[in-house]
Amino acid sequence: MKGVFLDSDSIAQERLDLGKLNELPIEWTFYPQTTPEQRQERIGDAEIVLTNKVPMDAEIMEACPNLKLIAVVATGTNVIDIDAAKKHNVGVANVGGYGSYAVAQHTMTLLLALAANVQRYSDDVRAGKWAAQDQFCLLDYPMYELKGKKLVIVGYGEIGQSVAHMAEAFGMEILVASSRPNQDSFGIVERRPLEELLPIADAITFHCPLTPATENLIDEPQLKAMKKSALIINTARGGLVNEAALAQALKDGEIGGAGVDVLTVEPPKAGNPLIDPEIKNLILTPHCAWGPDETRQRLLDEVVLNVEAFLNGESRNRLD
Q: Which residues are catalytic?
A: 237, 266, 287
Buried-exposed string 86-116: b where 16+ CB fall within 10 A, e elsewhere: eebebbbbbbeebbbbbbbbbbbbbbebbbb
Tell me whether residue 150 is exposed, middle or buried, using C-beta atoms within 10 angstroms of its C-beta: 0 to 12, 13 to 18, 19 or more: middle
Listed residue (96, 10, 5) closest to 291, CA to CA = 10
Question: Alpha-carbon distance 118 to 265, whole Å?
Answer: 27
Q: What DSSP character marks residue 283?
A: E
Half-sphere exposure of 71 (CA within 13 A, CB side): 25
**Cβ count within 10 A of residue 157:** 14
Q: What DSSP character marks residue 218?
A: B
Q: Which residues contact 229 (CB under 8 A, 6 or more apart)?
A: 142, 144, 202, 255, 256
Backbone angles phi, psi at 284, to 5 degrees: -115, 130
Q: How far is CA 56 from the centre of its chain?
A: 21
